[in-house]
Amino acid sequence: MHRGRSSKVTARRIISSTTSGKRSDSWLDDAGNRRDLISNNTDFRHIFVENSLYFLCNDLPAQLNKGYQNSHWDEKLIQAGVYEYRSTIVLPIGKSRILNSQEGVPRREIIGFLCIDTQATNAFSATYDVPIGQAFAQALHLALSRFRSKRLNSANEPQPTDPTR
């Protein structure tokens, strides 16, 4: 992800679950490949562009008149007031250490976002929930980095030949 071109950087949801714990793919568009612009989502932009450690909001609908943007919420949904979630914590999945500094602003690698949502308002605590979420995001980064490394290594290795040929 290149920060200088954040208006064109996208995020794609990999997996989601409902309050019943079942996997939900209702967010997919017809092509099954919906991508959300970072620039159209306050939470992602807050972390990716403004370099915040996390985004937490306990009443998202109340923030709409203060400029909150969510690419999953269209005008029809907003007018109906039917939201899949009302509170959220969004955390970067990336290295905790700083990679480099541009214009005096420290930067870190971000390979994704961990989004924790609920329909309840005032559900999250920055004191308790954010550190637990950050630990989980770090564990995801480790697992995803290892997976990515193994996949790259196996793609670069010569394929074994069939000795029967």
> Looking at the domain assignment, is residue 161 inside a domain?
no
Q: H or E stretch including 75?
A: helix 75-80
- Report the C-alpha dihedral over residues 49, 6, 74, 79, rounded to 10 degrees: 30
Specify which residues 112 forms β-bridges with.
Answer: 93
* pLDDT at residue 28, rounded to an integer: 43
> Looking at the domain assignment, is residue 160 inside a domain?
no
> Looking at the domain assignment, is residue 37 inside a domain?
yes
> Looking at the domain assignment, is residue 163 inside a domain?
no
> Looking at the domain assignment, is residue 41 inside a domain?
yes
The confidence band for 23, taking pLDDT boundaries of 50, 70 and 90, is very low
Tally the domains of the chain.
1
* pLDDT at residue 156, rounded to an integer: 73
- Give yes or no for residue 29 having a pLDDT over 50: no
| Average model confidence (pLDDT) across the chain | 80
* pLDDT at residue 90, rounded to an integer: 96
The domain that holds 145 is classified in CATH as: 3.30.450
Quote the DSSP letter at residue 159: P
- Give yes or no for residue 78 having a pLDDT over 70: yes
CA 97, distance to chain mean position in Å, is 19
Return the SS3 of 131. Answer: helix
> Looking at the domain assignment, is residue 165 inside a domain?
no
